[in-house]
Amino acid sequence: MRALTKTYLSRSRLLLWAKYSASSVIATVVSQVAFALCYWFGTAAIVATLVAWLAGAIPNYVLNRRWTWGRSGQKLPYTIIVVGSAVTAIVVTSVTDRLVQPLESHLWKTVLVSGSYLGTYAVLFIVKFVLFDRLVFAKTAADPVEVRTPVAT
């Protein structure tokens, strides 16, 4: 019975990780395109980051809430985590924007600053999963216990 439970938990965690990853990829693509377009057309790095964050945060929350974890999460911890991520991205993209100003190529500036935006969220990917899983969408004592029917052998 222990082996069955351990296997089930492992599969369950892998599925959760896969859903979180897929949700993050979708949100990242939306967010990255928004950032690159804003920055390419001359929007300040801080504004481009905010637009991109908002563009990605909405599908990310909806997908994580409904599909990945299948429950409504704690709103305050979620807000703190995503706003903290946005602030981190603002700092990183603003610093990168200042560092690339001596470059003459607008294309390279866009590539490097967009890359710093993507890199920030790549680094935060695992941290956010752990925080979402443990704080935002954590199962509570009030959640119904999943009952599995034993398989006859």
Domain presence at residue 61: yes
Buried (b) or exposed (e) across 114-132, using 16+ Cβ within 10 A?
bebbbebbeebeeebbebb
Domain that holds residue 26: 2-136
For the stretch 27-41, pLDDT in tens is 999 999 999 999 999
Domain presence at residue 32: yes
Domain presence at residue 147: no
Domain presence at residue 151: no
Domain presence at residue 44: yes
Domain presence at residue 152: no
Q: Look at the chain and report how many structural domains it folds into.
A: 1
> What is this structure's pTM?
0.77
- Beta-carbon contacts of 153 under 8 Å, excluding residues fewer than 6 positions away, are none
Domain presence at residue 146: no
Domain presence at residue 103: yes
For the stretch 5-57, pLDDT in tens is 555 568 888 898 899 999 999 999 999 999 999 999 999 999 999 999 999 99
